[in-house]
Structure 1
Amino acid sequence: MPNVRRLLILLATIWLLAACGQPAPWRQESYVFGTRVEVLIAGVPEAQARAAGARVLQDFDRLHRTYHAWQPSELSALNQSIAAGRTHDVTPEFAAFIREAQAAAAAGDHLFDPGIGRLIALWGFHTDDIQARLPDSAAVHALLARHPSIADLRLEGNRVDSRNRSVALDFGGYLKGVALDRAVASLKQDGVANALINIGGNVMALGTRDAAGTHWRIGIQHPRPQGVGGAPLATLELKDGEAIGTSGDYHRYFEVAGRRYCHLLDPRTGIPADATQAVTVLIAPGPGAGMRSDALSKPIFIAGREWRGMAKKLGVDAVLRVGADGTASATPAMQARLKIEVPDLKLEAVP
């Protein structure tokens, strides 16, 4: 299997279509949250863009280190206290994140549940160097029998305890979206009105990319690209305040006996979801748009063939899904925004 970091850098790329005759946005890249991060800023002097972008990336790094799931962090310290049956005091920020993640998990019937960190670790995804090995099935079933869930956490102010010692938090499917929202707020505070933030394919737009009012155009990764740097599956224009998020089986995975096992685990079965290759959601502007783009794509992915019902339940109107057989489907709201870039791709409209 290719080096995970190299694979992520190749596959998380977004395609930005240049506007002819307009100056290129200032750009800065980093590697945070286990993926490639990119900040583009337009319409301000380079010195202002550089300072504003640096503050965004500093906050990303702080969030990554503070809420890391398997390295020493505030989150791992809470997980240790939960395992020991102790209460634990957290920061107001951390308490707010837990409450928000609990609400997001409940909205999706806990198909996405940040409380299954122990299950993720059993599958070997709590590492930067994923190994191609299956977990002990008895250990998986024993953990499933204890039904760990973020819903088991109880908060009194900033004090946290758990009804279930098997709970371990993993914010891997939530924190990137939070970071998008925080980045937009930070940039606005620094006088930036036009920017694009990309965290491994979770993207949020602020304003436009140039003085002519050109919308930011991005590409949606093909889950099975043909060759390195292949064309995206589709492109679309992101409007001010919109966010887009993709969950795919190609970000973190391993293969055993020709079968792919990805990091998106179904809490009902304890095994990776395998009915979907990728799901992309487009979220309208509003409070928490970035967070919703990250967290809500997961239950739609894990729902498999029932994806449309889950999307409706979550209030997500614009969805693109690629099934396990490579068939692409889209809701009308998403289809109207897409420009298909793969020749002869048949896109099924699903009302």
Structure 2
Amino acid sequence: MKKYLKTPRVLRRATLLAMLPVFFLAGCGQKTECEKSIDTAMGTVISQTVYVTGNSATTTNSEINEKITDVLLQKLNDLEQKELSWRLESAEVARINAAAGEGQTSVSPAMSEWLGRCRQISEESAGAFDVSIGRLSRLWDIDTWAAAGDSGDYELPRQEEIAEALATTGWQKIQLEQQADGDSVSIPAEMQLDLGAVGKGVALDEILKTLEAHPEVSGAVISVGGSILTYGSKPEGGAWQIAVTDPLDPSESVGVLTLDGGHCVSTSGDYERYVEVDGVRYHHILDPRTGSPAHSDVAGVTIVTKDGFLSDALSTACFVLGQEEGQKLLEKYDAEGLFIDHEGTITMTEGMRQYFHLSNSQK
């Protein structure tokens, strides 16, 4: 049984965690080239710092004189366009949605695995995590409004609309078949899948595979929105340090995660994407059980694992579940987590304590 440690702290207002793409990295050594880039892909900001030893030219798979950062960015674009997007007709998720109610749709082994893992986490979280909420996501459409930066004209969904969309959900209704001649999936009519809750985690796992295929990469730290991968080591040695800041006051750092290579970090909170109507904040993390933005006793959750898919999925599930039930879920997956409630109290697993250190100003 894991122990959970509570650390109260006093801030100017209720706080939550955000993982910022801010990395405390020393300059590249003479024998190591440092590639850095900030781009957009999969609807979010991609920040990369990659250390390449020896010849920086990439030759794997006939890629000549191409930077590793460019290779990784293309990998993410392919992931969105060919597999994860529900908007692009070329993607598997969009094809599954288009065939809702029409029987089995052939899918890649990777998609079959992802959906199988989604079903498992849905079951283990008692439905707090569910990728069948596509119609609810589109109904609220908070991502679009938040990206536009102006929620003045946002119109809340009516309760009857929420109930109608909620009736189309249900992870148990996602049917997977794995046979010798290929994998397939079927969903009922009206259901729509949305893998946004695991997309960034999937991206981290795919990035890791790509980095492992390039022996010239000695270390990297890569942020896909709120999810971060550490890989290998820094030229000067020492662990990777990732700043953790109060997103209600981004100029203030609340602490640092100190991690070796091979860790994935994901965070979920009500500060990431939201709209405000009549002084009430409506965020993008929906509770599949109610059809509305989740209301729990936590304002933010950060998960550390060595599995990107799992870190992403668990951060969403734990945010919806809250501290007590979220901690029980983490035990099932041997994952480490840190919760911040609306009073600013930090609750973390015992294992997380070895990674997270409060900044001096917050002690």
Fold agreement, TM-score > 0.5? yes
Query: Is 2:355 aligned against 1:334?
Result: no
- How many residue pairs match? The answer is 323
Aligned to 1:52: 68
Aligned to 2:98: 80
Provide the secondary structure at the position in 1 that maps to 2:209.
helix
Aligned to 2:341: 323
Counterpart residue type for residue 56 of structure 2? A
1:1-351 matches, cutoff 5 A: 13-19=20-26, 22=29, 25-45=34-54, 47-48=56-57, 51-66=67-82, 67-74=84-91, 75-82=93-100, 84-125=101-142, 127=144, 128-129=147-148, 131=151, 132-146=154-168, 148-156=169-177, 157-162=182-187, 164-191=188-215, 192-210=217-235, 212-225=236-249, 229-275=250-296, 276-283=298-305, 285=306, 289-306=307-324, 307-316=326-335, 318-341=336-359, 343-344=361-362
Q: Which has the higher strand share?
A: 2
Counterpart residue type for residue 67 of structure 2? A
Distance in 2 of aligned mates of 1:89 and 1:234: 46
Counterpart residue type for residue 70 of structure 1? R
- Which sections of structure 2, spanning at least 5 residues, go unmatched? 1-17, 59-65
Distance in 2 of aligned mates of 1:177 and 1:28: 20
Residues 218 and 234, structure 2, Cα contact 8 Å, conserved in 1:
no
Counterpart residue type for residue 152 of structure 1? K
Provide the secondary structure at the position in 1 that maps to 2:220.
strand
Distance in 1 of aligned mates of 2:86 and 2:273: 15
Residues 302 and 338, structure 2, Cα contact 8 Å, conserved in 1:
yes
1:314 to partner: Cα distance: 3.6
Quick one: percent identity of the two aligned structures? 27
Counterpart residue type for residue 161 of structure 1? S
Q: TM-score, structure 2 length as denominator? A: 0.81
Distance in 2 of aligned mates of 1:309 and 1:172: 24
Provide the secondary structure at the position in 2 that maps to 1:308.
helix
Residues 223 and 277, structure 1, Cα contact 8 Å, conserved in 2:
no
Provide the secondary structure at the position in 2 that maps to 1:217.
strand
- Which sections of structure 1, spanning at least 5 residues, go unmatched? 1-10, 346-351
Provide the secondary structure at the position in 1 that maps to 2:96.
helix
Q: TM-score, structure 1 length as denominator? A: 0.83
Residues 19 and 214, structure 1, Cα contact 8 Å, conserved in 2:
no
Superposition RMSD on alpha carbons, in Å? 2.4
